[in-house]
Amino acid sequence: MNVGTVLILLAIGLSAGIFGGMVGLGGGVIMIPAMIYFLGVSQQTAQGTSLAVMLPPVGLMAVMNYYKAGQMNFKYAAIIAIAFFVGGYFGSKIALDISPEKMKKVFAIALMLIAVNMLIKK
C-alpha cells in the first residue's frame, strides 16, 4: 500500500469520525462513497470495509458475509478505524458547541448534498 493510499484512508477516517461525531453519520454517508470515488473500490467492498471499521459494536455477522465473498479490505478498515476514532472526538466537540437548531440544519444540508452528489455522479 502506497503513502497516497494511506493518506486517503486517514482522511476518510478523520472525515467520517468528525462527521459521525457531529451529526451521527459516518459509515454509509462518508466512508462508503469516499472509498468508491477516491480508492476505486466496488460498492460491496466499500460496504464490507465500512462495516469492518464499525465491527465491534455493529456488524460482526455482516462483515463475515462480506469477507467470505471477498468484498472486504482489512488494511483499509484498520487505518480508517484509527482515524475515525480521533475524528469522532473532534466532531463531537464541534457539535456540542453548535445550537440544536443549527445542528438540525447542518444535518439536513449534509444529507441533501450527499444525496444529490450520489445521484449525479456515476
Q: Which of 119, 92, 101 is nearest to 18 (CA)?
A: 92
Q: What's the grid cell of residue 62? A: 455482516
What are the residue boundaries of the structural domains of the chain, listed by start?
3-120
Please give the Cα distance from 35 to 75 (Å, whole number): 13
What is the value of pTM for the model shown? 0.66
pLDDT tens digit sequence for 74-108: 999 899 989 988 998 898 888 888 887 887 888 77
Distances (CA, A) of 10 to 54, 75, 97, 116: 15, 12, 25, 25
